[in-house]
Structure 1
Amino acid sequence: MPRSTMQTSSSEELIHALEDRPAPGPALLAAVQHVLACFIAIVTPTLVIAGILGLDRQLPYLLSMGLMVSGVGTFLQARRPWGIGAGMICLQGTSFSFLGAITAAGLLVKSRGGSPDDMLAMIFGLCFFGAFVEIVLSRFLHQLRRIFTPLVTGVVITIIGMSLIPVGMTSLGGGEGADNFGDPGYLGVGALTLLIIVILGQARNPWLRLSAIAIALIIGTAVAWLTGLTRFTTLEAQPLISLPIPFRYGFDFEWSVFLPIAMIYLITAIESVGDLTANCLISRQPIEGPRYIERISGGVLGDGVNSMLAAVFNTFPNTTFSQNNGVIQLSGVASRHVGQYVGAILVVLGLFPVLGAVLSQIPPPVLGGALLVMFGSVAAAGIRILARVTLDRRSLTIMAVSFGVGLGVASQPAIFEQLPAMVKVLLSSSISAGGLVAMVLNLLLPDHTVREQAASKAEAGRSTT
């Protein structure tokens, strides 16, 4: 399909623009890099929830369903059937935001003598109905244009990138709980991975740039293994195939624990708007106007539908990941058709669990080196949006307060522990705290620039008459 005029003129850094159809080889290579960048993040929330709730017996199936639903959701976001999805490479994965509320609901059932299956029945019932919060909200985003301005979305995207950078640093040091955290060998192999991505990302050869992340991860893993920094663990026995069974563990619901989960769906919708806006910017799509609103409305709707599917097929809520925005920028491939390849690969990994177990062998320091570049790219995309905003006193005030609150929460996450539960849920994430402050200030502080522009237009109209 030919590129549009806008893409031709502004897509010089892209090897394949949004509507391009790359040949199967380059498309598969680009898709594999998205999977490598996001695989650990997709499975980690499930591992944490299972560990807290004691779901050892259910864990293999939960992991398989998480990968499979992520694949279906990614496919829907790229394909955009019936307006469901953003029509871009929007990799879907299990959200970290729900960990607290989900484990609280499971522990409540457990305290009453409920079995692991009873806990999962309650969790998936709550998440199923909670998904409708996001689905309904997506239908009204066009009426919220005063809230989701470039200033607000730029702030949110920048905070998303900055708040994720510590995750990359933790992996670079060896991972959470590593005995020899910060070992010079870990830092060296992570730095090597990062350096390879940077060098190949600047290459003129499209194939080198296209495969920069995959090559860096392979070389980094090989060096870590050859130098004895890591050892490949023995793969545990995995089922040959995992088939999705709707509501395999039953279905339950309770109002007393529903509200926190519903509120988190609202917060993740705000985060998704930021991620989708960054994706639009990197993919050389408009970040204002009707086309932009239509795209992010479809993306948030896709998040809600995918989270509903996740509850039906026994996994936890999905959201749009930030990592893939960095992959798009580094690889130069924004083609939404690559998103369909990503979805297919994730479905296969879910169907055949042993394949996912092999991918989990990438050492944390190697992955950390790649994540630092990708998360940094997300923050840079936010700064790029803010650079287009008129940086007057009002804008700088909103940015200063929002960054102060958002990054302050990131540095002291326990600061709101003594506040009421609902307030704590709203402000527990640096992204939601900073984003909410930006939205409120954007509505409350008078925008003299808009008024002056309106007055100038009116004056010009009177002069013409």
Structure 2
Amino acid sequence: MSDIPTENSDIIYRVNDKPPFNQCIIGAVTHLLAIFVPMVAPALIVGAALNLPTEITAYLVSMAMIASGIGTWLQVNRYGRIGSGLLSIQSVNFSFVTVMIALGSTMKADGLHADAMLSTLLGVSFVGAFLVVGSSFILPYLKRVITPTVSGIVVLMIGLSLIKVGIIDFGGGISAKSSGTYGNYENIGVGLLVLLVVIAFNCCQNALLRMGGIAIGIVAGYVVALCLGMVDFSVLHNLPLMTVPVPFKYGFSFDLHAFMVAGIIYMLSVLEAVGSITATAMVSNQPIDGPDYTSRLSGGVLADGLVSVIAAMLGSLPLTTFSQNNGVIQMTGVASRHIGKYIAVILVFLGLFPAIGRFFTTIPAPVLGGSMTLMFSMIAIAGIRIIISNGLNRRETIIVATSLGLGLGVSYDPEVFRVLPASIYVLVENPICAGGLTAIFLNLLIPLNNNEGRCIDTAELEITSAEKNTD
């Protein structure tokens, strides 16, 4: 399929372009810097919360990287129906962190040891991933449900939710809050430095400098943080030289109750994947409507499900298409899926040699926050662009306003719907899901009015009035 260039496009390399080797490496490293810490963090968080042995946690981290590499390769190459054919990067789904901790804690209280607990958690993840695989086949028949307005709301909520993550890192991260150093001069200074460097290079006309702007900003911030004594190298101690994947290393068990809980999160991940892939298409100047878009959407969700099957088999938490990379595409102007092949190979290599991969986790939170705050805001803007691409008449305005109000409101106070049954509350406490489900419900409830045009703003009314007076 040929790319569809857009007038006044900021894209330097389009989806099917093949940049030179050196620019592919720069692009790949830039994307990796944006996702690496969020990629390995879920395994570290779950390992710490469940008090897993160090060697098990290290194995989970390595398998997360290898599975992400395999998933990214499937997404960007698009084998038949599998994959979006876009620069879609796979990474561990954060939505499963709290669920895995809750389920694992219950199993631990029941007396299960670590291997048996992981056997059940990964077994449930393995079976649950087929729910995502199955949903990919019905997506083409949901055009009345998954409209640009619905997709745009989901993308907007993803961006707005991630901004909170970015700004917390900007101030020093969760650890700084517990140590009392959150928002101090060092953290804010390093975050601002990275932010300004990224902005400066992103404004450059030189394509190479623009592509490397995020990486350069992070490197500059890392050097300053190193001089200030903010870098902790303790995470590099006592790591194995090499980690070899072993399918079902901890065995395979299944629990129906755990499956019901995890299944809900899997269906939520489909909604997030739809938003992420739509955003990737938008920032890559690809259509977000029509048969080509529907095919990409179905293939992307199918790849999401298949790679989660592979991930659970290898020993990783479930994966999904990562939204963070859409901000990188928009800022660098590089949408080439060819770069995704380099990312995939690097991820597998880092997974096999954990010491190399773990080095990325030494990047201080303010360094990441300085770049991520801007990138995540770009994702929110992509969501707005998707919404307005469908026109903003009275009906769409009501849908957007209500969905945004409830979704963003839940992000401010997730306990507002705690009175609801647990099976429903686990959905609506997530701002992305709350906003997305509200948009779907209203899109089906409010009747279409084909005679209604888009909303006319005050400036347009003044122009129309002036034209009438002139006549």
Structure 2 length-normalised TM: 0.93
Residue of structure 1 in register with 2:358 after alignment? 357
Residue number in structure 2 paired with 1:456: none
Instruction: Give the corresponding residue for 2:163.
Output: 165
User: Are 1:34 and 2:35 counterparts?
Assistant: no
Query: Is 1:215 matched with 2:216?
Result: yes
Note closer, same or farther for the CA distance 1:24–1:450 as it changes in structure 2 (3 Å cut). Answer: farther
**How far apart are the structure 2 equivalents of 1:400 and 1:320?**
26
Q: Pick closer, same or farther for the CA change 1:5–1:336 going to 2, 3 Å.
A: closer
CA contact (8 A) 1:153 1:277 kept: yes
**Equivalence for 1:115:** 113
SS at match of 1:6: coil
Q: Is the 2:190–2:224 Cα contact (8 Å) retained in structure 1?
A: yes
Contact 1:11 1:284 in 2 (8 A): no
Distance in 1 between the 2:424 and 2:302 partners?
Answer: 25
Note the 1:40-439 alignment, pairs <5 A. 40-57=37-54, 58-178=56-176, 179=179, 180-230=181-231, 232-233=233-234, 235-439=236-440
Q: Alpha-carbon deviation of 1:442?
A: 0.5
Shift in Å at residue 388 of structure 1? 1.9
Please, which runs of 5 or more residues in structure 2 have no aligned partner? 455-471
Cα distance, 1:176–1:450 mapped onto 2, change above 3 Å = farther
Say which SS state the counterpart of residue 80 (structure 2) adopts.
helix
When structure 1 is superposed on structure 2, of 403-412 and 415-424 the one drifting more is: 415-424
Equivalent residue, structure 2, for 1:460: none
1 CA distance for matches of 2:352 and 2:421?
42
Partner of 1:463: none
Q: Secondary structure at the match of 2:320?
A: strand
C-alpha deviation, 1:233, in angstroms: 4.1
State the alpha-carbon separation in 2 of the partners of residues 206 and 452 from structure 1. Answer: 40
Q: What is the identity, as a one-letter code, of the residue corresponding to 2:68?
A: S
Letter in 2 for 1:213: I
Query: Is contact 2:3–2:14 with CA below 8 Å preserved after alignment?
Result: no
Which residue identity is paired with 1:299? G
Q: Quick one: distance in 2 between partners of 1:450 and 1:364?
A: 51
Would you say the 8 A contact 1:11–1:17 is kept in 2? Answer: no
For structure 1, which runs of at least 5 residues remain unmatched after alignment? 454-465
Change (3 A) 1:432 1:422: same
Sequence identity (%): 43
Give the stretch that moved more between structures: 387-396 or 274-283.
Answer: 387-396
Quick one: structure 1 residues 21 and 11, their matched pair in 2 at CA, closer, same or farther if it must change by over 3 Å? farther
Q: 1:451 to 1:204 in 2, by over 3 A?
A: closer
In the alignment of these two chains, the number of paired residues is: 450
Aligned-partner SS, 1:439 = helix
CA deviation digits over 1:117-166, x for unaligned, max 9? 00000001100110011000000101000111111111111111011101
Secondary structure of 2:438's partner? helix
Native 8 Å contact 1:79 1:87 kept in 2: yes
**Per-residue deviation at 1:22?**
1.0
Provide Cα deviations, 1:164-198, integer angstroms capped at 9, x if missing partner: 10100110111103120001221111111111111
